[in-house]
Amino acid sequence: MFYLYNSLTRQKEIFKPISKNKVLIYVCGITPYDTTHIGHAFTYIVFDVLVRYLKFKKFEVNYVQNVTDIDDDILKKAKEEKKNWKQLGEYWTKRFLKDTKNLNLLFPTHYIKATDSIEQMINLIKVLTKKKFTYKKNGNVYFEISKFISYGKLSKFNRNQMILISKERGGNPTDPFKKNPLDFILWQKSGKDEPFWQSPWGKGKPGWHIECSAMIYKFLGSRIDIHGGGKDLIFPHHENEIAQSESYTGKSPFVKYWMHTSMVLCNGEKMSKSLGNLIMIRDLLNKYSSNEIRWMLLSHHYRSPWEYEENQLISAKININNIIAALKLLKNLKKNNDSGNHLKIISNYLADDLNIPFALDYIEKITEAFLKKPKDAKLFIGVSEYMTILNMLGFNFK
């Protein structure tokens, strides 16, 4: 059995997809106005291993990741740098994709820009308006949370917590046009010199939350198996996705399993540009290999917050070098010892809510044991089984 921790129910659950052999996954992607740091990489590498494991278990996986290429943060950054917002987004998206390729991440089934789904967003808002979940003020269209009785079921925050966190994460609870500080924008009137699209409510641009709901519906349907992202997206982003998606389709739950990766800290703080403590992937790749960075990231469980320290990469380098040495020796062995037992052990670790750190510990131990007594083939496995394990975890040894 495969167990996943569900952020909605706050417990491990047996994974049973909506369709028997198909898995629908959506992971919130980047807002492309800056480069990739290890916090981003941690999230996407975790879901990369999840997709690889599901494929190993013979599931057909439809994995969608988006690019939030129209957003207030992009427009603000473009204005600061006196650049075209679209060109800025394209530049940083290409940089992100280069980093993910260098880290050997599988490319999603669909990698989509929000601006390519504007029509779907407008249609979704039209239906919500017809169902009386919205109101219009000053050219903006708001979702009225009082109309969605289970609002807050994912985050489980009280009203005061929601207002405080919403203020920190772009929710603007002081907007004077809102009936309720927690109501959120579905469609926003464009400011002077801002991009706009024609809509039934005038020239404007989509709100952040409606983008993901529209792209999920367009590419995956009304209900999906797994929705992922960083823990900081639980509120307000994912909470608002639930409200608008379930109100639109009339189907609940919109997502069967919510998965959230924990925060990566540096110098005791969450990484942020304002604090100057961002650790960039492109900088690390100048000193360490893709495999070493991946090992370092995967040595932490996805639900446990952790702090980056360079000695973790030094340790990862030792383990990767040991694997390289072991592979070289194994290829020279005449007897192939593919028992399948080691693969089963690794698979069992991953089946327990992606316990990748335990899997890496096991690989480390058997590799070290083999290197100490390379002539004792009983201590180890054949190249085929070893490579299957390494590939399942996304390591690239050619």
- Report the CATH number at residue 385: 1.20.120
- Domain-located, residue 241: yes
Least confident among 19-28, 282-291, 364-373 = 364-373
- Domain-located, residue 101: yes
Task: Kindly give the pairing relationship between strand 110-113 and strand 204-206.
Answer: unpaired
The b-or-e profile of 106-119 (16+ CB within 10 A means b, else e) is: bebbeebbbbebbe
- The answer, yes or no, to whether residue 378 has pLDDT greater than 90, is no
- The answer, yes or no, to whether residue 332 has pLDDT greater than 90, is no
Measured in residues, the chain has a length of 398
Residue 266: pLDDT band with limits 50, 70, 90:
confident
Say whether both 262 and 315 belong to one domain.
no
The whole-number pLDDT of residue 335 equals 58
Q: Which helix (H) or strand (E) holds 67?
A: strand 60-67
Dihedral sign of CA atoms 225, 72, 265, 233 in order: negative
Say whether both 103 and 215 belong to one domain.
yes
Partners of 266 in beta bridges? 269
- The answer, yes or no, to whether residue 273 has pLDDT greater than 70, is no
The larger pLDDT score, comparing residue 215 to residue 167, is at 215
Say whether both 337 and 218 belong to one domain.
no
Domain count, the chain: 2
The whole-number pLDDT of residue 377 equals 58
Instruction: Read off the pLDDT of residues 124-174 as tens digits, 9 standing for 90 and up.
Output: 999 999 999 999 999 999 999 999 999 999 999 999 999 999 998 888 999
Say whether both 233 and 361 belong to one domain.
no
Instruction: Give the rounded percent of residues in the chain with a pLDDT score beyond 70.
Output: 97
Residue 337: what are its φ and ψ, rounded to 5°? -115, 50
The whole-number pLDDT of residue 170 equals 80
- Domain-located, residue 221: yes
Question: What range defines the domain where residue 342 resides?
Answer: 310-392
Residue 387 C-alpha from the chain's centroid: 26
The whole-number pLDDT of residue 30 equals 92
Residue 24: pLDDT band with limits 50, 70, 90:
very high
Q: Are 327 and 398 in contact (CB under 8 A)?
A: no
Say whether both 338 and 246 belong to one domain.
no
Q: Are 396 and 349 in contact (CB under 8 A)?
A: no
Cα separation, 299 vs 257, in Å, equals 23
- The answer, yes or no, to whether residue 260 has pLDDT greater than 80, is yes
Say whether both 111 and 223 belong to one domain.
yes
Say whether both 357 and 255 belong to one domain.
no
- Best CA proximity match to 21, nearest among 66, 67, 54: 54
The whole-number pLDDT of residue 267 equals 77
Say whether both 58 and 147 belong to one domain.
yes
Average pLDDT over residues 166-193: 93
Q: How far apart are the first and last CA of the chain?
A: 32
Average pLDDT over residues 175-201: 96
Domain end, chosen from 266, 296, 331, is at 266
The whole-number pLDDT of residue 155 equals 97
- The answer, yes or no, to whether residue 375 has pLDDT greater than 80, is no
- Domain-located, residue 183: yes
- The answer, yes or no, to whether residue 23 has pLDDT greater than 70, is yes
Say whether both 176 and 315 belong to one domain.
no
Residue 346: pLDDT band with limits 50, 70, 90:
very high
Tell me the two tokens of residue 127.
Answer: 């239906």
Cα separation, 267 vs 277, in Å, equals 7
Say whether both 354 and 246 belong to one domain.
no
Residue 64: pLDDT band with limits 50, 70, 90:
very high
Domain end, chosen from 266, 295, 320, is at 266
- The answer, yes or no, to whether residue 275 has pLDDT greater than 70, is no
Average pLDDT over residues 58-74: 95
Residue type for 291, please? Answer: N
- Domain-located, residue 318: yes
Domain end, chosen from 212, 247, 266, is at 266
- Domain-located, residue 304: no
Average pLDDT over residues 250-255: 96
Residue-averaged pLDDT of the chain: 94
Say whether both 364 and 249 belong to one domain.
no
- Domain-located, residue 159: yes
Cα separation, 255 vs 258, in Å, equals 7
CATH classification at residue 159:
3.40.50.620
- Domain-located, residue 361: yes
Tell me the two tokens of residue 96.
Answer: 């992100």
Say whether both 192 and 315 belong to one domain.
no
The larger pLDDT score, comparing residue 381 to residue 263, is at 263
The whole-number pLDDT of residue 101 equals 95
